[in-house]
Structure 1
Amino acid sequence: MKLRIVSISAWLIGLVLGSNAHSEAINVTVDFGQRLQMIDNIGSSTGMHGDYIAREWDQSVVDQIADLLFSQELDDKGQPKGIGLSSFRMQIGAGASGDESGISRVWRRTDCFLRPDGSYDWEGQGIGTTYWRRKCEEYGIATTIGYLNSPPVYFTENGYSFKTEETFTSNLKPEHYGDYASFLAEVAAYYQRIGLPFEYISPVNEPQHSWLDVPGKAKQEGTPWTNSQIAQLLRLTDKVYQDKGVSTRLLIPESASYDALVKYREGKESAAASDQLAAFWDKDSPDYVGNLAAVSKIVAGHAYFSDQSVNAIVRTRRDLRTAIEDCKDSLILWQTEYSLLGDRYSAEVPRDSVDEMRAALLLARVIHADFTIAEASAWQWWSSTEPDMFRVPRFALIVSSRDGEESFRATKLLWALGQYSRFVRPGMQRIGVSSEESVNEQLQTVMASAFYDEKLGELVMVLINFSEEKQDVNLNVKGRPATSGATTVAGYRTTATENMAPVKIDSGTIKMPAKSIITIVSSPTLSSQMVRNN
């Protein structure tokens, strides 16, 4: 397949150009003297709907969705066929199936590998989980994560996969902590046996929420946990893992917000699941789990409710970065779940002006902030698919028909994420980028980030024009390592009318349409061809 390639420009190998730019152009400098965090992965998840369609839809249709999510191929015009995710989170169900589950929406119900008699059904249950895990193997997705919103219903206080009393404590019965630990180990060991191991399993999810609901009207699975309850579960699971020889690591704490990681929520009942960095990784904490072999050295947090304003975007991430650097354990940050949730996701942008492209830009801005301010090493979106809500998509990359027809369409959110995930690959290192504007100003106008593959000599830059006006950007590159042979450059752009469309990049001045995202890939020719064909 032929890739649309443009001849090398001098700025791409380290010379400063752009003297012919308009006076109002923004100057951006990529400085190889600033080598920052390594990138582990960029991904998404099944959410709840992805698990459902893998169980209920015609497989050929779901295969098309998988191709949109995972493919790194280009079509005959040089346009990406998919967004090339490098990680994927898959739901492991608690058994909330049928009307007796208490969950109102059928597509939010789950099955469970565990039977009521304590035996396991590996073939008839978990069909959605296994489908997606096999797809990850087919497409070479290295980072695979299984996540649970609730323990199996056979172990819960009320027999449901959600809470019916607001206690902010786990729905797991005290006598079943060991059973839940064994369940986690059995699931991990099964996938290990069949050659499809999960790299990580998240045993708890957003423990700060009450997850209170009414049977028959419940929205989804979920349970709160206190920090001490989480620590107890992790210690038991670590022991079972060792006994069974399980290689899968535990990913925690999947906090509902960044503030829950770094602040004590005094006066709130969910305080028992706050200040989680200190709780789990401070050796003086009674809930310290940093010494457990099964627990990864990754802080998993969700970026929800950190987007209410530009100031909030900056503050929450700076606070989190400071707290991680102050922690005695050597930790890295993964942002493991985000969507345009809540009432204030649009920050300073009036909500009635948020169209699909604006929603995509809001997503891109959070990705940019998490990489450049919080210095996250991974970034993962919430739900890959959901039924069409007949409004601007905020929660899913792909929306499906609600009339019973097994059909779907890609949203602008998919392509906005793809401007990163398709090109910023695992093992790349973020390179420092400076601008004439302040961080707060950049978040409202032009944002720029850069990533480098040392082995291939490939430089990837992602530019976001958040504004309603066209913008020229002078790109300057300092200190890029020399490479032998010719260098090629390719550009890809998402706008209201384009989806990762190939664009010509032939000078150091990038002309950005209003409300646009452009990814520029500069590679030695041979390396570029190798990457595109993988």
Structure 2
Amino acid sequence: MGDNQLGLSIVRTGISPVSSEWNAQVSALRTAKSYGSNVKILASPWTAPAAWKSNNSRINGGTLLTSRYGDYANHLNSYVQYMRNQGVAIDVTSIQNEPDWHPAYDSMAWTGDTLRNFVRDYGANIKNTKLLVAESLGSNRSYTDPTLYDATARNNIGYVGGHIYGQENGPNLSAYPLAAQYGKNQWMTEWNYHEADGNGSNIWGDPTNLAAWNETLDKIMPSVNRTMESNWSAYIWWYGKRYYSFIGDGESAFGTTGGAVLKRGWAFSQYSKYVRPGYQRIGVTESSKASPLDVTAYQGDGKITLVILNRTTSAVNGAVIQAPQNVTSALQTMTSQYSSRAAQTTSITGSQVKVSVPARSISTVVITL
């Protein structure tokens, strides 16, 4: 949580179908857990062992043979217990990554009904973790509705989740009343988008590159804002360390320095560093002055935290935030094409905080009550 840290609190890892490979991630996951109890691990399988599938292959989809449902539950449980014995608690375990996508790499096909049947009949065999369904490619609810409608299956899961490929502006990135009805938080468990590089231009290591910043501000960050407005409770980006991601991987063709925080990382940290696990989203009433802005607000630890997107070409100066009681202190930081989580000036008068939001920026305001 220091000045050069991003505050990320969820790690997603894969579950290999080969148990002898599970040790490969132990060290990294232990390191993640060493940052405290707020760090959660989601483990997702891409496929069962080939011999348990209808196509006898790890790739190109293929379904899990019903005669192997028990074996698959034992496989997932064995992974969780193996990691637990290594000192790594697996907080959430997915049943399947992208059950509706069957590419020529590790994958496995399910339907909403077969996921329900598996979770209903075998979910209780997977111990010391909370289960998640269904990580559909585009958060297709036909993959989660059957589980939610079945009381036994529903009681065997902790979360519903999905990806937002093709849905960043689509109808599936929205509130999910059925999940809310049964108290199941929804996680966005994967998205990745990087078209600004075209055919591989060397832009990502330049913190002021306009194309990279425009994509981050106009395409990526609105998807986070929309996810939060839809009352989903987690947002997980694809690789954390990659040239188009949060931290540079050092790949020379794309211009990043290995280990260096990238502009997209600074932008994401306007959420992750300040909106901490356990905070609750609260409503915001916006005046006409704030109408060009996208604002979400959160409460926790005696603080109110606002994340403010200004995608317009005009600054909003002297905006007044009205808190419910007198304010003790206020902190504002801002990321833009030329700034990376830079401190901004605020002023306090009783229960009001005055801030300015630069054009083409994302800001966070933390109000201590």
Pairwise same-fold verdict (TM > 0.5): yes
1:58 corresponds in structure 2 to none
| 1:490 aligns to 2:337 (yes or no) | no
- Residue in structure 1 matching 2:282, options 421, 431, 443: 431
1:458 corresponds in structure 2 to 303
In structure 2, the CA distance between the partners of 1:154 and 1:82, relative to structure 1 (3 Å rule), is farther
The Cα of 1:280 is off from its aligned counterpart by 1.1
2:154 corresponds in structure 1 to 290
TM-score between the two structures when normalised by the length of structure 1: 0.59
Secondary structure at the residue paired with 1:208? coil
Tell me, in whole angstroms, the C-alpha distance in 1 between the residues paired with 2:164 and 2:195. 12
Counterpart residue identity of residue 414, structure 1: G
Q: Retained in 1: the 8 A contact 2:96–2:134?
A: yes
- C-alpha deviations, 1:85-133, integer Å up to 9, x for none? 1221112223xxxxxxxxxxxxxxxxx32xxxxxxx3xxx334421221
Q: Retained in 2: the 8 A contact 1:147–1:204?
A: yes
Tell me, in whole angstroms, the C-alpha distance in 2 between the residues paired with 1:412 and 1:194. 35
Secondary structure at the residue paired with 1:365? helix
Counterpart residue identity of residue 126, structure 1: W
2:176 corresponds in structure 1 to 321
| 1:379 aligns to 2:235 (yes or no) | yes
Q: Retained in 2: the 8 A contact 1:92–1:129?
A: no
- Residue in structure 2 matching 1:504, options 326, 332, 345: 345
TM-score between the two structures when normalised by the length of structure 2: 0.84
The Cα of 1:158 is off from its aligned counterpart by 4.1
Matches within 5 A, 1:14-413: 72-73=1-2, 80-94=3-17, 112-113=18-19, 121=20, 125-140=21-36, 141-163=38-60, 170-209=62-101, 211-213=102-104, 220-241=105-126, 246-258=127-139, 260-261=140-141, 275-283=142-150, 289-292=153-156, 295-296=157-158, 298-308=159-169, 312=170, 315-318=171-174, 320-325=175-180, 327=181, 329-340=182-193, 355-361=211-217, 362-372=219-229, 374-386=230-242, 388=243, 393=244, 396-402=245-251, 407-413=258-264
Structure 1: which 5+ residue stretches go unaligned? Answer: 1-71, 74-79, 95-111, 114-120, 164-168, 214-219, 262-274, 344-352, 525-534
In structure 2, the CA distance between the partners of 1:173 and 1:479, relative to structure 1 (3 Å rule), is same
In structure 2, the CA distance between the partners of 1:279 and 1:473, relative to structure 1 (3 Å rule), is farther
Q: Retained in 2: the 8 A contact 1:334–1:376?
A: yes
Q: Retained in 2: the 8 A contact 1:184–1:237?
A: no
In structure 2, the CA distance between the partners of 1:381 and 1:437, relative to structure 1 (3 Å rule), is farther
Please give the root-mean-square deviation of Cα atoms over the aligned residues, in Å. Answer: 3.0
Tell me, in whole angstroms, the C-alpha distance in 2 between the residues paired with 1:513 and 1:476. 16
Counterpart residue identity of residue 502, structure 1: A
Rg (Cα) greater in structure: 1
The Cα of 1:478 is off from its aligned counterpart by 4.4
Secondary structure at the residue paired with 1:384? coil
Counterpart residue identity of residue 452, structure 1: Q
Tell me, in whole angstroms, the C-alpha distance in 2 between the residues paired with 1:498 and 1:237. 51
Tell me, in whole angstroms, the C-alpha distance in 1 between the residues paired with 2:337 and 2:257. 26
Secondary structure at the residue paired with 1:301? strand
The Cα of 1:354 is off from its aligned counterpart by 7.0
Counterpart residue identity of residue 461, structure 1: L
1:422 corresponds in structure 2 to 273
Counterpart residue identity of residue 64, structure 2: L
Tell me, in whole angstroms, the C-alpha distance in 1 between the residues paired with 2:111 and 2:304. 44
The Cα of 1:191 is off from its aligned counterpart by 1.8
Secondary structure at the residue paired with 1:519? strand
- Residue in structure 2 matching 1:517, options 350, 362, 368: 362
Q: Retained in 1: the 8 A contact 2:120–2:154?
A: no
Structure 2: which 5+ residue stretches go unaligned? Answer: 197-208
Tell me, in whole angstroms, the C-alpha distance in 2 between the residues paired with 1:516 and 1:203. 38
1:471 corresponds in structure 2 to 316
Counterpart residue identity of residue 91, structure 1: G
The Cα of 1:236 is off from its aligned counterpart by 4.7
Q: Retained in 1: the 8 A contact 2:136–2:163?
A: yes
Counterpart residue identity of residue 489, structure 1: A
- C-alpha deviations, 1:262-318, integer Å up to 9, x for none? xxxxxxxxxxxxx2343111138xxx61133xx21x22122222234xxx4xx5444
Secondary structure at the residue paired with 2:34? helix
Secondary structure at the residue paired with 2:236? strand
Secondary structure at the residue paired with 2:153? coil
In structure 2, the CA distance between the partners of 1:253 and 1:437, relative to structure 1 (3 Å rule), is farther
Which piece of structure 1 moves more, 404-413 or 172-181? Answer: 404-413
Secondary structure at the residue paired with 2:270? helix
In structure 2, the CA distance between the partners of 1:182 and 1:364, relative to structure 1 (3 Å rule), is same
